[in-house]
A and B are shown apart, each in its own frame.
Chain A
Amino acid sequence: MKRAHGLITGAALAAAMSTALATGAAAQTIKIGVNEPLTGPFAASGTYVVNGAKIAADEINAKGGLLGRKIELVIEDNKSNPTEAAAVAEKLITGDKVPVIMGAWGSSLTLAVMPKLMEYKVPMVVETSSSSKITTSGNSYIFRISPPSSVEATEFKSIMPSLGIKKADFLVINNDWGRGSAEDFGKIMKAQNIQVGLVEIMDQAAQDMSAQLAKIKATDSDTIMVTTAVEQLTLVLKQAAALGITKRIVTTGGSQNPDQLIEQAGAAANGSMHLTTFAPWYPDKTPDPAATKYFLGEWKKRGYAIAGATESFRGYDGIRTIANAIQRAGKAEPAAITDALWTTDFAGLNGQIKFQKQGPAGKESGQSMPNLYLIKIENEKIVLSGS
């Protein structure tokens, strides 16, 4: 009996020691905070971005990690809610002590996080948000790899003549992203003598846009510019088809996931055009075909729906940008990472990642300029129609 007791104590001791060792090893990891919407209206998109981020982390760890340590993603759900996004940032910085964050998907979410970055002097790589305000408000901890709507609009200018737009109406989501897009695209269009008609707004959680669409149907415009994420876009396309709208629909913002649109909206998606920054359907046209193929292969291997690839690549590039900076910084500390981010220069999946200064002098934010493609859905297939 006594002997058995001793054995148990020994086993317990061994177990305790191995736990201690494991915690010791965990403390050696480099933590990267990930602040994304995993629930709420943007859940699908946020989940895709996180899955992309995990591919990057696993790839880096498989190659031996950074500075001799493994990286660890600390993933938190901001619930598609700006208040939660700020709280998550606070928790990541003060609780988990992460030296750098990637986030926060939506513009309103990112804008809510930004004061926290200033407060704690921690840099954030912004992977998706496109409101121009983000890089022009004087926050020197912001490094954005997605195009703001102003850049998207400027690049769209060269594609526009081929579409022959005469008058356009807008239907945009009611937040910083949607309103910002309507403003930026409207400005570019007016400069090209294209008339801007209605600017209709839809609430972030709205499921029925028939009223807005009925109003747009009655105008003499030939094109509808739509800015929102894939879930709401699916509904817009279905409802536009139900109302018999035959105007050209062009979507902006890069969160359209065309494959998901085809799957969920079916024939209603035919004829719609989408501005996107990544073209996984044509890997050879991307800046780094080898990396694109590796990423897509890994995405498929993990059993994720291909529809998510146009969204998830941002998570993949975001984490690679951060890892690249940490490697060059030589240490995982906020100030060193911030400095290293300014000298980033490598081929991302959607263009060279290299930060230009934007915003008021002395406290500029970093902005990288990705490529832009216009794709069209024809017979439930994706065709490249301009870049």
Chain B
Amino acid sequence: MTELLQHIVNTLILGSTYALLGIGLTLIFGIMRVVNFAHGELYSFGAYALYFVGVMLGLNFFLALIVAVVLGCFAGALIEVVLLRPMRGADIDTTMLVMIGAMIVMQNGEQFVWGGVAKSVSTPFPELPLVIGSISVSWLRLFVFCAALALIGVSYLLINRTKLGKAMRATFQDRDAASLMGVNIQFIYMATFAIGSSLAAAAGALLGPVYVISPQMGNLASLKAFAIVILGGLGSIGGATIGGFLLALAEELGAGYVSSGYRDAMGFLIIIVVLLFRPTGLFARAERIG
């Protein structure tokens, strides 16, 4: 029983960061239809940005987190303007190849700048965990959980309750109609990609101090983000959130009660099962694009 409770606590914390990764990608992949292989690189970009600002420049940890997310936002905007804007109207495969290129360049760039040795970031949180009964959880992870939940809430409100969100949804449903209604299409594309990227950077900056920061950290993150988006249904924020928690649950219980050797396989097994019965994912709305 204690063990199960501990697994559930672990799931909630891991799931919140998976959800963050998933939401960022669902904006870009689900709504913009850009197969963003560089998503994981924006995740590691966020982690390295935190390391640079928080450790090398010595800024306060919480301020450094905010700076890292803002830098992630700028990096996303830059990628959109430089790489994707000229590709507008090109088919999905062409942009996919561009993003694969971007991923390779970014990962090797990180390797070049930071070297292969993993970096660690210390935080102002106490090292002793919070213990409630027989369950224990570190303060840092608790903070990550709360911050991730807050960011999930903010993105939900942004997409569903603001004018910008409405313009985004309109643009990707029918670009021409949105343009005729006076929506600045170029800006919307850039903003969507930038928001998605900043969420990935936020996940990286939050998880960097929990784990260690290395140039390869984005690989697994990318893979999982895609899995979450497909599991939850393309373009659905709620789906990506639930997908993130489901993936974490499958991994945690799979490792806890089946076999830890197949931890990462468990998550993907669940996805295969879900897709067999619901090929569009758990929460995809009816296709309205085009």
Contact = CB atoms under 8 A, between A and B. Distances in A.
Contact of B136 (A41, A244, A266): A244
Contacts of A43: 115-118, 214
Contacts of A329: none
B260 A200 contact: yes
19 contacts: A39-B215, A201-B260, A202-B260, A203-B261, A207-B212, A211-B253, A214-B256, A215-B260, A218-B3, A218-B6, A234-B118, A234-B120, A234-B212, A238-B138, A241-B128, A242-B137, A243-B129, A244-B129, A263-B120
B160 interface: no
Given A211-B251, A235-B212, A217 B6 contact: yes
A90 to B, nearest CB: 23
B265 to A, nearest CB: 9
Contacts of B263: 202-203, 206, 211-212
B141 interface: yes
A38 B127 contact: no
Given A203-B264, A214-B10, 6 more contacts: A41-B214, A203-B261, A205-B216, A241-B127, A242-B138, A242-B141
Given A211-B10, A231-B214, A217 B118 contact: no
Contact of B212 (A40, A46, A231): A231
B216 A244 contact: no
B14 A44 contact: no
A215 B256 contact: yes
Contacts of A241: 127-129, 138
Task: State the main secondary structure of chain B at its contact with A.
Answer: helix
B131 A244 contact: yes
A211 B256 contact: yes
B187 interface: no
Contacts of B220: 205, 207
Interface string B260-273: 11011000000000
Contact of A207 (B129, B131, B211, B260): B211
Nearest to A307: B117
Contacts of B259: 201
B138 A211 contact: no
Contact of A214 (B3, B212, B251): B3
A208 B211 contact: yes
B289 to A, nearest CB: 36
Nearest to B257: A215
A106 B20 CA distance: 34
